[in-house]
Amino acid sequence: MKQLSVEHLLGIKYLKNTDIDLIFETADQFKKVINRPIKKVPSLRDITIANLFFENSTRTKLSFELAEKRLSADILNFSASQSSLKKGETLIDTVNNILAMKVDIIVMRHGNVGAGVFLSKHVDAKIINAGDGTHEHPTQALLDSYSIREKLGKVKGKKILIVGDVLHSRVALSNIFALQLQGATVKVCGPTTLIPKYIKSLGVEIETDLKKALEWCDVANVLRVQHERMDINYFPSTREYTQLYGINQEILDRIGKKIVIMHPGPINRGVEITSEVADSSDSIILDQVENGVAIRMAVIYLLAQQIKR
């Protein structure tokens, strides 16, 4: 049986192209399962998974939980705001207490960059990074690429634009790694204050003119402005941001070609994208959410195959 080249899913930067192919092949099978009347397989009946969310989440948390249930795993859900972290307990102590309950896999979202890597060095469980600060969100990038492959037939050779707050986005970095690994070309667009200085060193071009950027691309992945991660003003006003970088039907009509529209969510409707575009037939935003369950089932299943039982 084919195996992943990694012991944990900490970031796309640790994966090989063959890992992505294997995850997609496995997700293809699980996508068939979740569209059957009986949406469940008994594959992970002997596996226990803890979902540790130290930062807010809607899609990722629900998607992982559903993926785990579809695989018949036992699940523990942990939310930082209701935990003894408030009483001063460290991350390692929290996790070791959870592991003492015989947990095999930890899915963790954390505000600190590298939290998953740190955990993987200190605890004896498989770690899946569900987003670490502004760093990586590997399952989001996998489901994004999978959705592009589903819509356009392949990722290789496609021109993908990432628009918006790239600076604070873990989705952007993981997407750049995943798309380049599969042979796509990536460009970013946004105010220069929201484009990280290192981006060119990754082989990513910058375009500050939204119309030119849209004319170039096959797919536009639109990012939210992450006000919660900003301690200074990066642009004069939300209104001006929307005027210059918001995706609306008018600008798409002026370009006169079909572009696949994506967004990882949560959407700020009327800021980075209008409802008309987000809900249009060119948008695959809800396909991304559906594919997220199959991708997460595949990642969990493949990592669980490495556990000695």
Residue 182: partners with Cβ closer than 8 Å, 6 or more residues away = 17, 20, 145, 155, 156
For position 94 contacting ligand CP by CB under 6 A, the verdict is no
Residue with tokens 């995850």: 23
For position 151 contacting ligand CP by CB under 6 A, the verdict is no
Question: Could you say which of 18, 266, 286, 307 contacts ligand CP (CB under 6 A)?
Answer: 266
Shortest CB 36 distance to ligand CP, Å: 26
- 43 or 51: CB nearest ligand CP: 51
Between residue 117 and residue 136, which ones bind ligand CP under the rule CB under 6 A? 131
Shortest CB 220 distance to ligand CP, Å: 16
Question: Could you say which of 26, 48, 60, 129 contacts ligand CP (CB under 6 A)?
Answer: 60
Distance CA 25, CA 4 (A): 12
For position 58 contacting ligand CP by CB under 6 A, the verdict is yes
Question: Could you say which of 111, 114, 133, 265 contacts ligand CP (CB under 6 A)?
Answer: 265
φ/ψ (deg, to 5) at 34: -75, -5
Distance CA 261, CA 273 (A): 10
Number of CB atoms found within 10 A of residue 55's CB:
18
Distance CA 197, CA 281 (A): 35
Question: Could you say which of 173, 223, 264, 294 contacts ligand CP (CB under 6 A)?
Answer: 264
Distance CA 283, CA 291 (A): 14
Span near ligand CP by CB under 6 A; candidates 4-12, 52-60, 68-76, 301-309: 52-60
For position 140 contacting ligand CP by CB under 6 A, the verdict is yes
For position 11 contacting ligand CP by CB under 6 A, the verdict is no
Task: Determine the residue with CB nearest ligand CP.
Answer: 60
Shortest CB 84 distance to ligand CP, Å: 24
- 43 or 273: CB nearest ligand CP: 273
Question: Could you say which of 34, 57, 113, 159 contacts ligand CP (CB under 6 A)?
Answer: 57
For position 286 contacting ligand CP by CB under 6 A, the verdict is no
Instruction: Kindly state the number of chain residues that form the binding site for ligand CP, as judged by CB under 6 A.
Output: 10
- 48 or 169: CB nearest ligand CP: 169
Shortest CB 81 distance to ligand CP, Å: 15
Per-residue x/- mask for ligand CP, residues 171 to 210, rule CB under 6 A? ----------------------------------------
For position 227 contacting ligand CP by CB under 6 A, the verdict is no
Binding site for ligand CP (CB under 6 A): 57-60, 131, 137, 140, 264-266
